[in-house]
Amino acid sequence: MNTRGVIILLITYFAIMSEESFSQEKLQYYDLTKVESYVINNKGTESPFTGKFTNYKGKGTYVCKKCGAALYYSSDKFESDCGWPSDFVEAQLEPGRYGIAIFAGGCFWGVEYFLQKAKGIISVTSGYTGGQVKNPTYKEVCTGNTGHAEAIKIVYDPDKTSYEKLLKLFLEIHDPTQIGRQGPDIGDQYRSEIFYMNEDQKNTAEKNLNILKAKGLKIATALTKASEFYPAEAYHQDYYFNNGKVPYCHAYTKRF
44 contact partners, CB below 8 Å, separation of at least 6? 38, 85
Number of other residues whose CB lies within 10 A of the CB of residue 17? 10
CB-based contact 85:5 (threshold 8 Å): no
Q: Is 107 a catalytic residue?
A: yes
CB-based contact 87:53 (threshold 8 Å): yes
Among residues 64, 107, 142, 249, the one annotated as catalytic is: 107
139 contact partners, CB below 8 Å, separation of at least 6? none
> Nearest CA to 177 among 75, 100, 117, 105?
105
Q: Catalytic site residues?
A: 107
